[in-house]
Chains A and B, each alone.
Chain A
Amino acid sequence: MNRRKPAMTDNSRRHFLDTLGAGALLALAPLTARAATVNRVVVVGGGMAGATAAKYLRVWSNKTVDVTLVDTNTSYTSNIMSNLVVTGQYAPTILAYTWANLVKNYGVKLVNGGVTAVEPGGSLGPWKVIVTKGTTVTTLYCERVVLAPGVQFDPVPLTSDPAQAAPITHAWQAGAQTTLLRDRLAAIPATGTFVMTIPKAPYRCPPGPYERACVVADWLKRNRPGARIVVLDANPYVMAERENFENAFTMMYGANLTYLPSRVVKSVQAAAGAPGGTVTFDVVDPSGVPITTEPIAADVLNVIPPHRAGAIVQTLGLADSGGFAPVNGATFESTVAGKAGIHVIGDASKTALPKAGHVGNQGAKICVDAILRGFAGQLPYATPTANSACYTPVNSTMAGWLTAIYQYQQDPATGAWKYVAIDQVSAAVGATEARGPSTDSFAKMNTWYRSLMTESFS
């Protein structure tokens, strides 16, 4: 539990300000509201965004803000690079991170447990965060709450009994499912079928499913040339790095990869523990209206269900009907009435930014800067920028890349503020992808990954 410094009374503050004189009063005026206390922030979730937020709240406040990071796990497993663990190219250990360096280097406090409530804190602080671990309950009072719970997956109906949820191996939250899918791929029959399904956007990591399709096809091509991967995409076309992936699909993997857009999963028939099953899907027209319904049998089934913001965002009523939390893009503070002081960052938030680790790291820094300015009685920086950059393997030796610089700006027509990727030289809108994959980009991918993880976790 945090201890607060004794509050400065109005009389003592007035006396103190008198002694400083008018000039000093002017300079310090914005600080008086907070100067009497140590500001406290509780960060919930220690993934890419949450870890970065905890780090920068300490670094950029010169360690004057008290920061507690809460996570249900005792370590973090990176989703980035996990597709190369699925193919067995990299060991799972490259995905393993902890928060030990945030504790050691910056004095972040760690609490292990699940957040069961975030409520007004009364006289002890604007908010209280209740963390439960077994029978232990920890109550953390704070000025600001930063939620970074990531995503949770929607249940997929079981074909034989749609009232029940089918067992799903998505491997889209790295961990036990990543190595499970790896083992199932390794055991696929010589002429087997690997079926992967992609949910409608927005989902975590826009190029990620297409990257997985490619590296799995590459593995099949080299190890099971008679087998293939079938990709059922709920979207009408490849959602990121379209040229790169469409070229790879047709020119590199024609025999081992079948890409089928506008296929929306309806139900799945599968048994717990079995690698395969049958997917029933709708073929939809461009407006999403089903045209026909078809089944496909899989020896290895990899269904990535639609997802939404993590449970705590839903519990607190911070999500909209799309399942993610609308926020002010300059602060990442919730725009839901009555939730001022609660920020949602990373994949759980709803902005025009992609849901991905690199940009989650940047969103966290924008949020932190706004919180610290607020503690100092200043307004947030009105027009922040966020960047997304990632390298995406198409096989075991070559990768492409995707990048975008997003400006937070106001649409002159509608007045709405949003992040827009604009090339300031050509005025072209949208992300930029590499002009083809290369071995050089594959090498840089490894450097990028290590850099990004160090920046977020150390």
Chain B
Amino acid sequence: MKISAAGIAMLAMFATSAASGQATVNDGRLLASGCFQCHGTAGLKGGFGTLAGVPKTDMLNKLNDMRRKDARANVMYPHARGYTTYQLDLIASYFASLPKP
């Protein structure tokens, strides 16, 4: 089947839409966005340390350590304790997928 010039233009349009559509399919990003207020948008340039590019195992080890602590001793401990291990895995995977600054 012949693809017309208009069809190619539309193909480009669909490609853009598909790309932006793909970008919204990110459960880890939505969950991790709760970290952005203090750690910066996409884990960059926040006041409490960069999370972008942190290896997943490192982050999960830290968070699991925090889960064993007294929740009232540090503002991060209730955060580590407030997400399910499944959610923490998605969050750590998201930050690990970002390039290290």
Contact = CB atoms under 8 A, between A and B. Distances in A.
Given A18-B1, A385-B87, A451-B46, A31 B14 contact: yes
Contacts of A407: 84
Contacts of A62: 19-20, 23
Contact of B81 (A19, A64, A423, A433): A423
B38 A389 contact: yes
Nearest to B4: A15
A432 B69 CA distance: 13
Contact of B20 (A376, A425, A447): A376
A362 B14 contact: no
B46 to A, nearest CB: 5
Contacts of B85: 424
A381 B67 CA distance: 25
Contacts of B27: 381
A405 interface: yes
Range of interface residues on A (Cβ < 8 Å): 35 or more
Contact of B78 (A59, A377, A432): A432
Secondary structure dominating the interface of B: helix
Interface string A31-60: 100110000000000000000000010011
A434 interface: yes
A16 B10 contact: yes
A188 B45 CA distance: 42
Nearest to A425: B81
A60 B83 contact: no
Contacts of B79: 387, 389, 403, 405
B16 interface: yes
Contacts of A426: 71, 81
Contacts of B39: 451
Range of interface residues on B (Cβ < 8 Å): 35 or more
Interface stretch (A246-254, A270-278, A318-326, A365-373): A365-373
Nearest to A61: B20
Contact of A12 (B6, B21, B25): B6
Interface in A420-435: 421-426, 432-435
Interface string A331-369: 000000000000000000000000000100110011001
Nearest to B91: A385
B24 A376 contact: yes
A35 B24 contact: no
A125 interface: no
A435 B72 contact: yes
Interface string B11-48: 10110111111011101011101101111110001111
A328 to B, nearest CB: 15
Interface in A400-452: 401, 403-405, 407, 421-426, 432-435, 444, 447-448, 450-452
Given A18-B1, A386-B34, A448-B38, A8 B75 contact: no
A56 B41 CA distance: 10
B28 to A, nearest CB: 10
B45 A433 contact: no
Interface of B: 1, 3, 6-7, 10-11, 13-14, 16-21, 23-25, 27, 29-31, 33-34, 36-41, 45-48, 67-68, 70-73, 75, 78-79, 81-85, 87
- Which 5 pairs between the two chains have the least Cβ-Cβ distance? A405-B82, A376-B21, A447-B47, A451-B47, A372-B24
Interface of A: 5, 8, 12, 15-16, 18-20, 27-28, 30-31, 34-35, 56, 59-62, 64-65, 358, 361-362, 365-366, 369, 372-373, 375-378, 381, 384-387, 389, 401, 403-405, 407, 421-426, 432-435, 444, 447-448, 450-452, 454-455
Given A385-B83, A403-B78, 20 more contacts: A16-B10, A19-B3, A35-B13, A35-B17, A64-B17, A369-B24, A373-B25, A376-B17, A377-B21, A378-B25, A385-B34, A386-B34, A401-B75, A423-B78, A423-B81, A424-B67, A425-B68, A435-B70, A435-B73, A454-B40
